[in-house]
Amino acid sequence: MHAVVPFAATDPKTRLASVLSPAERSTVARAMLADVLTAIVEAGAEPTVVSTAPLDLDTLSLEATIRDAVSVTVDDRPLTEAVNARLPASHDAAPTAVIMADLALATPDTLERCFSHDTDVTIAPGRSGGTNALVVSHPDFRVDYHGASYLDHCEIARDVGTSLETVDSFRLSTDIDEPDDLVEVLIHGTEADRAPACLRELGFALETRDGRVGVARLEETRRE
């Protein structure tokens, strides 16, 4: 299966600006992208990074077998247009997956669940109504990532008469956008994952405040 991975190569993860400098946000975004690409390849799919600007895969420090399975194309159009240009155009075309680059908790097993459904459209929604992972085989289905895109995509699937399956997955529903999301990376990331290691290198650690778990950071580790 071919998997499209949209990636904002310039000024990524702006909602993390309160805790990360621009350079740090770029570093964390690339660490998450590397984890996502590794999970996709290990799940048996072939990913193409659709980047808003040129991206050197060597900067991701991927293992050679993963690196060889990944391609990059540059497309600076808005997300909806860039993805729609890569979805199946005929009934004879192979299914296409769309996997967001900030799913730091994605594993091969969770992605295989998403890839294995025998439906025209399979969606793994995000916690706030977004669409974090998607598999499309019907040529009439097109995406719209504005607003509560999961609900919009369900409606689009009904309108074009496709079969639809929703994947209920904690790991695929957890996209890393806000500072509080970093807690999930530190708790549920594995020793092999780059994203939690990157955050720890930047001085982040779990902290309990008022009975709730959050993240704290050594300020001297902040980099401009």
Q: In CATH, what number is assigned to the domain containing residue 125?
A: 3.90.550.10
- State what percent of residues in the chain have pLDDT above 90: 89
Residues facing residue 48 across a β-bridge: 4, 71
* Single-letter code of the amino acid located at 115: F
Q: What's phi and psi for 3, nearest 5 deg?
A: -125, 125
Supply the pLDDT for residue 220: 58
Supply the pLDDT for residue 223: 60
Q: What does pLDDT average to over the chain?
A: 95
Residue 222 domain-assigned?
Answer: no
What is the spatial distance between Cα 5 and Cα 103, in angstroms, rounded to a whole number? 11
Residue 107 domain-assigned?
Answer: yes
Structural domain count, the chain: 1
What is the spatial distance between Cα 210 and Cα 201, in angstroms, rounded to a whole number? 26
Q: What is the pLDDT of residues 158-216, one digit of tens each?
A: 999 999 999 999 999 999 999 999 999 999 999 899 999 999 999 999 998 888 898 99
Residue 224 domain-assigned?
Answer: no
Supply the pLDDT for residue 73: 98
- State what percent of residues in the chain have pLDDT above 70: 97
Q: What is the pLDDT of residues 35-87, one digit of tens each?
A: 999 999 999 999 999 999 999 999 999 999 999 999 999 999 999 999 999 99
Residue 167 domain-assigned?
Answer: yes
Residue 195 domain-assigned?
Answer: no
pLDDT surpasses 90 at 219: no
What letter does residue 90 receive in the DSSP assignment? S
Residue 145 — pLDDT band, cuts 50, 70, 90? very high
What is the spatial distance between Cα 50 and Cα 82, in angstroms, rounded to a whole number? 8
Supply the pLDDT for residue 123: 98
- C-alpha distances (whole Å) from 63 to each of 7, 67, 127, 145 are 19, 6, 31, 32
pLDDT surpasses 80 at 222: no
Residue with tokens 């992605």: 111
Q: Domain range spanning residue 76?
A: 2-176
Residue 6 — pLDDT band, cuts 50, 70, 90? very high
Supply the pLDDT for residue 146: 87
- C-alpha distances (whole Å) from 56 to each of 60, 73, 99 are 8, 11, 19
Supply the pLDDT for residue 205: 94
Residue with tokens 């050594």: 218
Give ∠ CA 174-180-184 in degrees, rounded to 5: 45
Residue 128 — pLDDT band, cuts 50, 70, 90? confident
Q: What is the pTM of this model?
A: 0.95
Residue 148 domain-assigned?
Answer: yes
Residue 223 domain-assigned?
Answer: no
pLDDT surpasses 80 at 108: yes
Supply the pLDDT for residue 210: 82
Residue 91 domain-assigned?
Answer: yes
Supply the pLDDT for residue 221: 65
